[in-house]
Each structure stands twice: as C-alpha cells, then as structure tokens.
Structure 1
Amino acid sequence: MNLADFVRAERVVVPLPGPTLQHAAMALLDRLVRDGAVAHPERLRARVAEERAEDVVGMGDRAFLLHYRSDAVRELVVALGVTRAPVERELGESDETQSASIVLLIAAHPRQAALYLQVVGAFARLLSKPAVVAEVLSQPTAEALAALPVLAQVTLRDQLIVRDLMTERPRSVSPDAPLKDAALDMVRAGVAGLPVVDDGGRVVGMLSQRELLQHLLNNYLHRGGHQAPAAGTPAAPDGRPRAVRDVMTRQVLCVSPEQPVAEVAAMMTNKDVDRVPVVREGRLVGFLTRGDIVRKLIGS
C-alpha cells in the first residue's frame, strides 16, 4: 500500500478556490461529496466549519494538512488541491496569518485509527520536502497531480511500536516520597507527570498536574479560600505531611513496548490520557506522551 492508493483524480482540485483556507477546505469537501465518498455530508461540513486548531497541520508556507476522524465517512478518504495564489489562515486571536498553496484533506472513520495515523504521517513527511512541494505545484491538471510518481514511491511503513517512540529510563517517584518534593521535581524537570514505582520497579500509580491541582484546590477550599497551601500541607490529624501515595491515582493505563503506536494513540484519545507508563512484566521501562506521538507523526 502506498500514498498513490489514496489519491484519485476525481478527488483532486486544480486550481483550488480561495482566498481563505476555509474556502479551500469546503471546495475539497464538496469534491468528496460529489464523488460519493462522504456518507453524511452535513455532519462533516459542520466539523470542517468549526476550524479547530487541532485539525490543521500548517507546514510553513508549503501546505495545509486538514485531518478529521469522523463517522461521517465509512472509510479513509483523501482530497488534494493546489491554488493559483496562496490561501490564508488566521492564527488564533492575533493578526498573524499563515498561507500556503497546497491543501490536503484527510477524513477517516474512528475505527480506522491505525491507518489514519499512518496516512497523515506519511503525507506530512512527504510535503515537508521542498522538491516534492515544487513538483506538486507544477502539475497543470488533476490527472497529472494524481499520477505523480512520488506518491507511489511512498510505501506505508510497518506500524511503529511504542518502543520506537518512548522515553527510556524515565523519571519516576516513590509512593512514600514527600508530595512537596515530588511537585518541585516535576516543576524543575518541566514534566507534567511522573509514574509512581515501588522498590521493585513496579508501577503502582501516577502523579500528574491533575492530582496536584485537585489536592491544592481541596486544601484551599478547606482553608476558606484565604491562603494557597503548599504541596506539603499536612494530610492527617497526626500532622504527617502528605506523601505521593496520598494523592496519586492508582488507576493507571499502562502499555507494552511492543504495542502498535496507532493502537495506543487511539486508547489515549478515547480515555483522555496524555501520558502512559510503558511496562514489561509490570516493571517500568519507558514513558510515552501524546507529544512524543505528534512529533513523530510530523517528522520532527
């Protein structure tokens, strides 16, 4: 399987209308609808109209990659277009804009998470190459663009596994460590979470900013909102300072180093988890975050 398998002349628009990215996106969506590739057009139109920042990968001044997971389509579909003049996209609430002349729209049903990640990543890496961008821009017709040899040359690689992306020998913390010390360690290291491991290296919990915030908020409200407590605020009548075990979550999603990244990414999305310990026979061997996956997808 290669990228040429997903690019059909009927779903390529040359030239693509502008002047904004939204105009271009809707034109590509219309082409997919006309070709019968969208089961529920209005549902996908509504999603595209939301213009969520997480749905767009802006690749400098080269291309925009729009990607959606939606049950509005039954299978993964791709639409591609090239504009005569660059189309623009506003960046947040600032006056800054980003522009590009290539727009790619990918939509896939949620059950196709693995294929979706592979295709999005492959197109992102391909369009990061200036020579390929120049070749795409030079094609005069949809048929010529769909027939570009470079598309057939990009074979979808075997699925990445967690071991390829994880951080080895990650930071961790003992369940008996003072909570204040663990919080300071997180701040100094610039990490948003730490796996909690026992003396045998087994994962027994997770300490993240969510648990710390909940602890601080509870103490703040308990004090009547008059004084923000430190992370080491006593947790019991005996005056014992809070330890990590008092605050950590014990329900931890752990993954194996041999699991496919696409499978793990889908699990993290469905369970709204930002980071997972990687374990072998229960013992911590690595750590994987959403950021690790995103960086790999866009080839940085």
Structure 2
Amino acid sequence: MANVTSVMTGNPACCTADTPLRDVARMMVDNDCGEIPVVDDKGQPVGVVTDRDITVRIVAEARDTMSATAGDAMTKPAKTVREDSSLKDATELMESAKIRRIPVVDAGGKLTGIVSVADIALAGKDVQTAQVVKQVSEPGRRKH
C-alpha cells in the first residue's frame, strides 16, 4: 500500500500561533485550502486553524477579528502522521478523529506536507475513500 507522501501536498502554507488571524484567512484564500497548520519555532505542528475554527471560535463568539491570532482560533494539539505512514493509517486517523485533513511530519516532527480526503480520493481509492468520507461526515455525538 502507498504511503502518505504519494498523495500529500508538500510544503503547505503554515503559520505560527502569533500570526494575525486575518493573515491566516488570506493564506486560505491564496492557497485555496481550508486548513493552515500552526507550527512552533522548529517547524513542528502545534495545532491547526480551519475555516470552521475561525467561524466557531472567533466570529460566532463575537471576538475581535482584527486582533485575533492563529493561537486564539486553533485546534490543538495537531493530529499528525509521519511521512512513512500508510494511506490506511492516515484514513484510520481521519475516521477516528473525524477530520478531513492531516499534517504530515518527518521523523523529527517537522511539517513536510498535508493529506486531505480529496487527495486520497484523487489517488483512486474508491472503496477506501467512500468509507473515510462516510466516517468523517457522520455527526459526532454530543456530550451532555
């Protein structure tokens, strides 16, 4: 089975926790993506900011969008897979965590890419993709 490097987008746009949120949103527009990994000074992912994170954690809470940073909106810690991970490992993590994108790191933990459900779909894994999309798209159970 192929590993994640065969389908990942290499060298993805990323930011730091103190990057202004408006710059993160601009990166999403410029790179036509819905997630920007947040890295530390060693280039290791510490979280991710999704377009949904911005909507739910900043806009819906009526927080000041002009002073907000990536750190204010990010989901942490970042779930990652290593470059030598199989597509099966990546899809299992997507299913269990109900996420659509996963940062890829090297053996030292440094960000090298990102894999999405769309990347796997384009790789022609029809049955596998259908299962991932089904699992990721099922509503989560709310805890009361």
SS of the aligned residue for 1:218 comes to coil
Q: Are residue 294 (structure 1) and residue 137 (structure 2) matched?
A: no
SS of the aligned residue for 2:113 comes to strand
Give TM-score scaled by structure 1 length: 0.39
Aligned partners of 2:13 and 2:27 also within 8 Å? no
SS of the aligned residue for 1:278 comes to strand
Partner of 2:17: 175
Alignment of 1:1-300 (within 5 A): 159-214=1-56, 215-219=58-62, 231-232=65-66, 241-280=67-106, 281-297=108-124
Partner of 1:156: none
Amino acid at match of 2:86: P
SS of the aligned residue for 2:80 comes to coil
Note the C-alpha offset of 1:298: 5.4
Amino acid at match of 2:7: L
Query: Matches of 1:242 and 1:177 in 2, distance apart?
Result: 9
| Structure ranking higher in strand proportion | 1
Q: Which has the larger radius of gyration?
A: 1
Q: Could you say which structure has the greater relative contact order, defined with CA pairs below 8 angstroms and 6 or more residues apart? A: 2
Amino acid at match of 1:210: R
Instruction: Write the deviation string for residues 48-75 of structure 1: whole angstroms up to 9, x where unpaired.
Output: xxxxxxxxxxxxxxxxxxxxxxxxxxxx
Partner of 1:61: none
Instruction: Write the deviation string for residues 183-238 of structure 1: whole angstroms up to 9, x where unpaired.
Output: 1221232110010112211111100012111111111xx7xxxxxx7x32xxxxxx
Query: Matches of 1:267 and 1:201 in 2, distance apart?
Result: 22
Amino acid at match of 2:4: V
Identity %: 27
Instruction: Write the deviation string for residues 110-139 of structure 1: whole angstroms up to 9, x where unpaired.
Output: xxxxxxxxxxxxxxxxxxxxxxxxxxxxxx
Note the C-alpha offset of 1:251: 2.3
Amino acid at match of 2:91: A
Structure 1: where are the runs of 5+ without partners?
A: 1-158, 223-228, 233-240
RMSD (CA atoms): 1.7
Query: Matches of 1:276 and 1:191 in 2, distance apart?
Result: 13
Query: Matches of 2:45 and 2:79 in 1, distance apart?
Result: 10
Runs of 4+ in 1 over 3 A off after TM superposition: none
